[in-house]
Structure 1
Amino acid sequence: MNRDYYESPKPGKIMQMLWKAAGSDAYILKRSTYNDQVKYACLGGIVAATGFMAALAGGYAVYTIFEPKGSALDNAVHFPTALMSLVFGIIWGLIIFNIDRFIVAATGKGDGTEAITWQEFTGSIPRIIMGLVIAITISKPMEIRMFKSEIDAELHQAQLEKRKQYEEATKVNYDDRFAIIEKDLNKIEEKRVDLIERIKKAEKDYSDQLNGKLPGTVPGKGRLSEALEKQVDKLELELDDFDAVNKAEMNRLLSEKLKLQNELAIELDKNEQVAGGLDGLLERIHLAHEVAGFWITFFITLLFVVIELTPIFFKMMLIKSPYDYMSDNVSELLKADEGIQIKYDYYKDKQGQERNLIINHKANKKVEEKMMLIKAQTELSDYIIEKWKEKEKEKINNNLDDYISEA
């Protein structure tokens, strides 16, 4: 706005967007000083930056929650989850941006001095609490992204240890079932080994007898050699019968063992998935606190708290400037134009609190007009009824017989 003594700078589109982010009135700021324009542009910049950080934090948090679980060192990007996280991050950023914009726009300027009085502070407590919650919500995903490499290393080690624990527990659960099968297999195997040993001994005795190595016997074919040969044949038949009788049982036990081994392999694979399930948002936040320590995470959170609460305290510390006076003036003009009158500290309520009297002149005028119209309509209706009664009386007087009926 051009004046003889001062020319208001022409704002650019970016500055006007930042004004909107701060919830300020662009119409008034265009006519205000450059100092006011810059103050509210900076205020809007903080709000916009908070929304941007919220979008990043929210998107990363959602990606961490919904990405396929596995080894912490597997950094391959899962594009469907990334796309979903991008959409959510934008929506979340806009939500936080809108909330911050409301908080800043709804925060008053206090008493117009740099000092923050106790009354100003207590009045802003609800907004400060909302700002703290938003700041903490934004800071945690940012923390786990800052320390991602250290967290991945610690998380991978934790996954290996957890997987080892699960594997040991799973194998213990299967040991008893394997032991029962092995016991039955060993019984059959012991009997078969015993038969084979007896066959070997009988064959050795038969061979030694033929070669004259058996003491007290005559070498060569004879009754003894025939008896020993028959014994060998008998034992071999017993072995064949034993194998035939126990074949089905052996196959059943081996089949159960193989089935149990397959079940164990499946359970061990599940354990790997369960260990991979540690790769979640809560575990990463917990590890971030362990890796970075209390003070580092505290100051990171404090940084986001300061960024989030700066606009609130900034507005309470603002000294009244031309923008504020012009804004008050426009507000008073609008109220006057609409016939609204405010008498400040006009009366005290039951608690002794000073209250303002608000008079809506246009509304009162409308009410009065309506009341007068209703009153006039009522008077006219009464007059019509009275005239109708007089007319009817005149008819009765002139034609009384028409209104009397004989019994």
Structure 2
Amino acid sequence: MLKRFFIICSGADTDILENCSIGEQNKYAGIGATVFFTAVMAFIAASYALYKVFDNLYTAILFGLIWGLLIFNLDRYIVSTIKKTGHVIDELIQASPRIMLAIIIAVVISKPLELKIFEKEINQVLLEQKNELTLANKNQIAEQFTPDIEGLNNDIIAFQQQIDTKEAEVNQLYDTYIAEAEGTAGTKLLGKGPVYKEKREKHDALLAELQQLKAENKAKIAIHETQIAQLKGDYETQIVNTQPIINNFDGLMARINALGKLPWLPSFFIFLLFLAIETSPIFAKLLSPKGAYDFKLDDQETAVKTNVLQNKNQQEALLKTDYAINDRIYADIENESELYTYKRKKARELMQLQADAFYEKQKKVL
């Protein structure tokens, strides 16, 4: 039962193969088993790859099964259409498109399994890339908020400098009128004279301006600090909102790119392994000698071809004969006077009818 199933997988004609030797049947059973297990590997690889894409087990299995059946059908078609001719060059030319297709299928099958085999190493590469993306994301977001924050900080510094400058002027006037009262500077007269009062009034006026400036600038500073806090909060919020995108940076394409950053030699040998598996049915059939099955199949196809050619030649000869007979018949009829008289009479009647119709039409017009 299993042997018959593998023979069906090989695409061989079971009716012809039943009349061949056991060895011939085993050869095609082996080819069919290779085709079947290649499709199984394609199903596993496609299911894993699609699971990474859709993150749904049932969807991955469904589409993986469809892909496996597609590969099975292609491989079965490839093997069944290779005909043994006995000439190596002709067989290689005949099989070259199939070999190219097998290489493409091997690449498609091997890549998802490479992702699974080197999963830990790929995760390490992805972790490094995620860290780089996180830093780059923070820098890019910071570029959006830093100019505004720096501008607000510069305004705060300017407001504080205004207060410091005004406070320094007030302190200077304070020292001036105190020195005047003590007689250590100015008029050098001890006591609170007119000059002292003038300087004290100037100091008091500037002190009032200082207090007003402090109140105004502190209010402005408070507003700016609130804006800075809001910008920093927006910055943190945007980082939190964009971080999940970076954390989910482990899709199929990201993993394939990460695989490309690993040493190429192990991946290349895995590809060669699947290429050998995929092309083994083709080369098995190319390298095997022309057996009883090939001779019987060739005999059957030749018989069908011969029958079709005979039918075609017979139809062509029949058509040619029919043309010759028709030519002779019309040649004999051409010289009969009775047929000439009959056709002359009918043509005369037709022309009379046309003349009457033209006359009636012209009469109506007039």
Q: Which residue of 2 aligns with 1:58?
A: 46
1:312 maps to which of 275, 278, 282? 282
Cα offset, 1:181, TM superposition = 0.8
Cα offset, 1:121, TM superposition = 3.5
Shift of the 85–251 alpha-carbon distance from structure 1 to 2, 3 Å rule, reads: farther
Corresponding position: 1:89 with 2:64: yes
Q: Distance in 1 between matches of 2:214 and 2:290?
A: 105
Shifted more, 188-197 versus 298-307: the winner is 188-197
Q: Deviations over 1:339-367 (max 9, x none)?
A: 24xxxxxxxxxxxxxxxxxxx12112112
Is the Cα contact below 8 Å between 2:160 and 2:217 reproduced in 1? no
Q: Distance in 1 between matches of 2:150 and 2:255?
A: 41
Output the amino acid matched with 2:76: R
- Structure 2: any 5+ residue segments left out of the alignment? 172-181, 184-191, 193-200, 346-366
Corresponding position: 1:253 with 2:202: no
Q: Which residue of 1 aligns with 2:19?
A: 31
Is the Cα contact below 8 Å between 1:144 and 1:285 reproduced in 2? yes
Q: Distance in 2 between matches of 1:90 and 1:193?
A: 79
Q: Deviations over 1:88-131 (max 9, x none)?
A: 323332332222222212222352xxxx9455445433322221
Question: How many equivalent residue pairs?
Answer: 328
Shift of the 387–84 alpha-carbon distance from structure 1 to 2, 3 Å rule, reads: farther
Shifted more, 89-98 versus 296-305: the winner is 89-98
Secondary structure of the structure 2 residue equivalent to 1:36 = helix
Cα offset, 1:139, TM superposition = 1.1
**TM-score normalised over the length of structure 2:** 0.71
Output the amino acid matched with 1:306: A
- Structure 1 segment 184-263 matched on structure 2, within 5 A: 184-189=155-160, 241-242=212-213, 245-246=216-217, 249-250=220-221, 252-263=223-234
Q: Which residue of 2 aligns with 1:371?
A: 320
Cα offset, 1:328, TM superposition = 2.5
Is the Cα contact below 8 Å between 2:106 and 2:278 reproduced in 1? yes
Q: Distance in 2 between matches of 1:374 and 1:276?
A: 82
Q: Give the structure with the higher percent helix.
A: 2
Output the amino acid matched with 2:235: L
Output the amino acid matched with 1:389: L
1:127 maps to which of 95, 98, 109? 98
Shift of the 123–88 alpha-carbon distance from structure 1 to 2, 3 Å rule, reads: same
Q: Distance in 2 between matches of 1:249 and 1:379?
A: 119
Q: Distance in 1 between matches of 2:50 and 2:338?
A: 81
Cα offset, 1:143, TM superposition = 0.5
Q: Which residue of 1 aligns with 2:294?
A: 324
Secondary structure of the structure 1 residue equivalent to 2:250 = coil
Q: Which residue of 2 aligns with 1:160?
A: 131
Q: Distance in 1 between matches of 2:58 and 2:206?
A: 75
Q: Deviations over 1:209-235 (max 9, x none)?
A: xxxxxx99xxxxxx9xxxxxx999989
Q: Distance in 1 between matches of 2:290 and 2:272?
A: 29
1:389 maps to which of 336, 339, 342? 339
- Structure 1: any 5+ residue segments left out of the alignment? 1-11, 68-77, 202-214, 217-222, 224-229, 341-359, 396-407
Q: Distance in 1 between matches of 2:286 and 2:260?
A: 34
Q: Deviations over 1:358-380 (max 9, x none)?
A: xx121121122233334434444
Is the Cα contact below 8 Å between 2:82 and 2:94 reproduced in 1? no
Corresponding position: 1:281 with 2:231: no
Q: Which residue of 2 aligns with 1:204?
A: none
**TM-score normalised over the length of structure 1:** 0.65
Cα offset, 1:312, TM superposition = 1.0
Output the amino acid matched with 1:30: E
Shift of the 393–134 alpha-carbon distance from structure 1 to 2, 3 Å rule, reads: closer
Is the Cα contact below 8 Å between 2:4 and 2:29 reproduced in 1? yes
Cα offset, 1:31, TM superposition = 2.8
Output the amino acid matched with 2:23: N
Q: Which residue of 2 aligns with 1:47?
A: 35
Shift of the 242–363 alpha-carbon distance from structure 1 to 2, 3 Å rule, reads: same
Corresponding position: 1:183 with 2:147: no
Shift of the 110–367 alpha-carbon distance from structure 1 to 2, 3 Å rule, reads: closer
Cα offset, 1:311, TM superposition = 0.8
